[in-house]
Amino acid sequence: MTADKNIKEEQIAYAKWLDWGMKIGLILLILTFIVYLIGILSPQIPISELPKYWKMKAHDYLVSAGIHPGWAWLNLITKGDFLNFVPIAFLGAVTVLCYIRILPIFLKKKDFAYFVFALIECLILILAASGLLQAGGH
């Protein structure tokens, strides 16, 4: 697809990274799910026990399954089910990567307002991803 001449440099750069990020994320998502389904790696939570957990509130599920919130899943990525968190988290990171890509373009254009907006957006998304914000359980 050729880009329109009216479209700004940062928009094209953002679109290119978004395109690649989405494709990589989706392919990884399908591959890791196949690994999970055919049992190449054993899951942390036996698949037959899932119906017991998916009825619970998320907080109760974590407590009951002995899983820690935040990035603790990284310790479990050798398990078939938690391996799927890699592409899921990657899809969540694509937007941050795209924003990081356009930061230098705004700086080069001396577009300081949008540089600050993009920088704050990165910080907001990184804060959300950090795991520092924990929701209370009910």
Partner 1 sequence: MKIRFVIVLVLLIFSLLTCNFAFAETTASNQGDVPWWIWPLILFIATFILGILAVLGGVGGGVLFVPIIGGFFPFNMDFVRGAGLFVALAGALAAGPGLLKRGFADLRLAIPLALIASASSIVGAMIGLALPSNVVNTSLGLTILMIVAIMLLAKKSEYPEVKKADALSQALRINGIYNEISTGKEIEWKIHRTPQALFLFIAIGIMAGMFGLGAGWANVPVLNLLMGAPLKVSVATSKFLLSITDTSAAWIYLNNGAVIPMIVVPSIIGIMLGSVVGVRILAKAKPKVVRYIVIGMLLFAGLRALLKGLAIWK
Interaction pattern, residues 35-74, with partner 1; x per rule: CB under 8 A:
-x----------xx-xxxxxxxxxx-xx----x-xxx---
Q: Does 16 bind partner 1 (CB under 8 A)?
A: yes
Q: Is 131 helix (H, G, I), strand (E, B) or coil?
A: coil
Choice between 40 and 120, CB closer to partner 1: 120
Alpha-carbon gap, residue 64 to 58, rounded angstroms: 10
Alpha-carbon gap, residue 70 to 85, rounded angstroms: 12
Alpha-carbon gap, residue 87 to 90, rounded angstroms: 5
Number of residues that bind partner 1 (CB under 8 A): 70
Of 41, 76, 77, 85, the one binding partner 1 (CB under 8 A) is: 85
- DSSP state for residue 8 in the 8-state scheme: -
Shortest gap between Cβ of 11 and partner 1 (angstroms)? 4
Cα-only R_g, the chain:
19
**What DSSP line would sit under 25-75, residue for residue?**
HHHHHHHHHHHHHTTSS--SS-GGGHHHHTTS-HHHHHHHHT--SGGGGGG
Choice between 94 and 100, CB closer to partner 1: 94
Residues that bind partner 1 (CB under 8 A): 1, 3-4, 6-8, 10-12, 14-16, 18-19, 21-22, 25-26, 29-30, 33, 36, 47-48, 50-59, 61-62, 67, 69-71, 81, 84-85, 88-89, 91-92, 94-96, 102, 113-114, 117-118, 120-121, 124-125, 127-131, 133-138
